[in-house]
Structure 1
């Protein structure tokens, strides 16, 4: 366990200026519980961070930030599946690369998603037709008070669209320390989204899907190392059939993705773009010119700039489409996570 500079600028991909009372890097499970005890002794909040790729710091954090860097990947197999046990501090994209290098397919659609493995089940990350819940076997969670580890089967994780039990019952006082993945040896390519639909399912390889996904993401999305951002700022809204019919009567070219429950998912980026907001700027924050779903730190933005822009985008989309966008990014105040929708209301 190591303590270092209390600046959070390099620990959030928005690259916003913020400070914490203390920043600790954890490389073993006991470091997490030790940090918990330090925070309790000083009556301060504790915030667990992976790579800060999905957070917006609203203020300086009045407590202890723990950066999870617990590493390790174990591979086992059955006749039908590959089983991966992955420590929470592993980089997600590097895990995808590692799997391909070991001839294990199934993660390639999720290439280049930023962040650590431990963050993946919290958001139930997904892209190009695949969500983590379809691959997850279990999640190991550490009780920071008792130092005990509980294995939660995927069926108990309450996965939904960018949703899980880890945003609720296991949000405070717990840390994800490992994720178990189950990948079928009988590989079936998922080619339903974007440029992937042009690939031939009969001949395509996992590496070709990986390369295509990487090319699409690099073309559309800004690199956080060059331009501060947290990826997709808003969730794609899910609306009922009546609302979809009404919208399609006005906007027949609107992208619509039917869901198994009869509702439909709309493309939030398309809604923002149709509201005429590409490139729109408030202070140092702007809507990205190529992918309107992404808000960027264009020039020394403050958190207030990003919040003001996010609120403006949300209001403009609501006025045009009567659809309220919900942030995917986690909003972090001085005392911890707050409700993002309330923060923008």
Structure 2
């Protein structure tokens, strides 16, 4: 037992000594220098300093519509060979512009490339995003490409406004369509909502609550849209109203008239009405002409009697009832009949 204990202790001491010797050797040997990284692109720091971890990770610019803003992109090449980098801006509307599209950076140097941001005059107040893209050999990315984000804030008072224009109904029956145009008259992006109302001669014929349309409108943009009307009235005169709303208090409406009465039916009804009114007038005139022909003077051989009857006929033609003084006319006729000229 004592021999085994001494052997175990001796082994532990030797093991500890080996570990200590190895650690001391590793501390004495200098650490290997890390491999230099590839080139990189980043926002340029101020006062000509070199980019560092504490610098801004992206560009942030702010300005009113119509202004031109400027900044600088830094290209660092810590490698031992020259690199050539191609630059371009990626942003909606092309408001990013670089001073150079191709830059050569010598080994262990840094290049600063100016660029400008032109805020469009019709830009809507709010946030927009883009990026500066650098592409070259042996880059920091898998394909030698770096992209630096550019955030732009457009200042100004937001204005939300839109109009509804050119409202019309095309087709009849199941093929009827409501056509209209929406125009963004403000400076903000709008997501419109549409409500439809139609009233005929006998009451409401269409009610559609406001719902979101599958489109967005940029400032100044106009778009032509259609709305299906599956069951319009077959015989009616309809007043149609479209109402569109959007965020920020935008509101617009327009009306149109939709008449579904066929022109043939309207013309036929007018002809029937005219015939119904003109028919009795023609009959009355024909009857009056026949009565006047039977009472021509000299038809009975007695001028006196013919004159009296003619006077009676003229008085009767002036009205439907018995003429005033009818009894006197009859007495005059009787006296004329008993005169000397009446004897046989």
TM-score by length of 2: 0.19
The answer to which structure, 1 or 2, has the higher relative contact order (CA under 8 A, 6+ apart) is 1
The structure having more radius of gyration, on CA atoms, is 2
Give the structure with the higher percent strand. 2
User: TM-score, length-normalised on structure 1?
Assistant: 0.19
